[in-house]
């Protein structure tokens, strides 16, 4: 199959001003700038003094390709009223992370640094991605400030839940940069999945040999998480059943974390019924017949494993009496369409999304090229970001999954 790269850039020529305030999540600003550039945006960065304690301006300058702005008192910039020029330049302002302090400044019109002054001076659309300790996020003062900002038309990207740097667990984590970009590129929120329950599997599974070793694969979970984020943005109630990944659950998505194929199947069955089931996880086909209770010692120069088949999650869901609209993924290294058609027929799925995997293809990358295979239709999509691809796939699914 010929791999062609699309020129599709969801933020093509958009001027994006990225504000970074002083929280531990400031380090994610580097990845956010990189992804915004990849999406076609022209990026400038503004940092607070506190943000510079967590990430250096040099890093962000290298990634954005422009000097970082960090002071109202830059004499060279202020000769041309630099803060006003920046405010007029931007099409969109995204502040990530937005700390409790910076949210309070925005809400009450304080302007004692460059970033808070820009917010007052701009007519661009303003987005904030809050990140802070879970108790600070749930505090009445913070929630009142967030409500006030929403009433004024500020777009709030809700924080994710999970373990925090301080050791607490709860809402307040900065969403992954890919999820922030997905929110920014979802310019026209749709209601294609309003009232529908969508269950999505994502990531790899791990099949233990003993308490130390396990069998797994290279799946990062990025495609499944992108689908979950896009489905939630389209109005769905989303259950994401995830194998072990380094990703945070998208805001507003119910995430169930599992390790093994058997646990993933049990979680899928527990989540039923649903309207749409998307099996994006790279599930291990086999597991060790016997799991050691202690670390297995070396046994000479060779070691044979006795493997048994894992349950087939997609086929199991397709056989349910109340079968949802079922979407499977087929990651192949060769004979892509033939094997996708075989999987479509054997599993009883409604559509198979087929993609080649290998070096810089499929796993661990931010872009993908797939082919949708149905009983009487084959549609090849161009190479695009997984964030954009998720929305395209869901729009096509929505036409059939009535």
- 43: three-class secondary structure by DSSP: strand
Contact 245, 217 (CB under 8 A): no
Contact 196, 236 (CB under 8 A): yes
Q: Is 166 a catalytic residue?
A: yes
**Across-strand partners of 325?**
276
**CA distances to 49, 166, 228, 245 from 257, in Å:** 37, 22, 14, 9
CA separation for the pair 188, 198 (Å, rounded): 20
The closest of 353, 333, 356 to 341, measured between CA atoms, is 353
The closest of 70, 60, 64 to 27, measured between CA atoms, is 60
Q: Which residues contact 345 (CB under 8 A, 6 or more apart)?
A: none
Q: Which of 166, 268, 274, 326 is catalytic?
A: 166
Q: Which residues contact 96 (CB under 8 A, 6 or more apart)?
A: 18, 19, 20, 25, 28, 29, 32, 127, 128, 129, 131, 157, 174, 177, 180
Catalytic residue numbers, as ranges: 166
């Amino acid at each position: 199959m010929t791999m062609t790269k699309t020129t599709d850039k969801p933020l093509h020529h958009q001027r994006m001003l990225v504000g970074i305030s002083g929280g531990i999540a400031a380090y994610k600003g580097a990845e956010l700038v990189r992804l915004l550039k990849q999406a076609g945006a022209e990026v400038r960065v503004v940092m607070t003094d506190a943000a510079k304690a967590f990430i250096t301006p040099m890093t962000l300058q290298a990634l954005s390709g422009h000097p970082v702005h960090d002071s109202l008192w830059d004499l060279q910039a202020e000769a041309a009223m630099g803060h006003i020029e920046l405010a007029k330049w931007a099409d969109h302002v995204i502040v990530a992370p937005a700390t409790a302090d910076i949210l309070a400044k925005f809400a009450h019109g304080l302007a004692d640094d460059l970033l808070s002054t820009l917010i007052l001076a701009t007519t661009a659309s303003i987005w904030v991605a809050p990140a802070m300790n879970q108790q600070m996020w749930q505090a009445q003062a913070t929630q009142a400030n967030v409500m006030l900002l929403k009433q004024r038309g500020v777009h709030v990207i809700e924080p994710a839940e999970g373990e925090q740097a301080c050791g607490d667990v709860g809402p307040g984590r900065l969403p992954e940069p890919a999820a922030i970009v997905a929110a920014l590129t979802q310019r026209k929120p749709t209601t294609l999945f309003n009232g529908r329950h969508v269950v999505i599997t994502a990531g790899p599974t791990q099949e233990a040999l003993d308490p130390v070793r396990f069998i797994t694969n290279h799946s990062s979970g990025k495609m499944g998480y992108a689908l979950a984020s896009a489905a939630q943005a389209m109005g769905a109630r989303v259950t994401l059943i995830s194998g072990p990944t380094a990703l945070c659950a998208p805001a507003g998505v119910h995430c169930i974390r599992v390790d093994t194929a058997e646990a993933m199947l049990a979680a899928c069955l527990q989540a039923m019924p649903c309207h749409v089931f998307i099996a994006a996880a790279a599930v291990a086909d086999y597991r060790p017949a016997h799991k050691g209770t202690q670390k297995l010692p070396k046994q000479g120069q060779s070691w044979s494993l006795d493997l048994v088949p894992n349950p087939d999650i997609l086929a199991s869901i397709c056989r349910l009496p109340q079968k949802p609209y079922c979407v499977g993924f087929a990651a192949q290294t060769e004979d892509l369409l033939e094997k996708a058609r075989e999987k479509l027929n054997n599993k009883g799925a409604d559509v198979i999304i087929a993609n080649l995997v290998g070096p810089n293809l499929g796993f661990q990358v931010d872009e993908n090229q797939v082919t949708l295979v149905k009983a009487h239709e084959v549609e090849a999509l161009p190479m695009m970001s997984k964030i954009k691809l998720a929305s395209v796939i869901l729009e096509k699914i929505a036409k059939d999954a009535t």
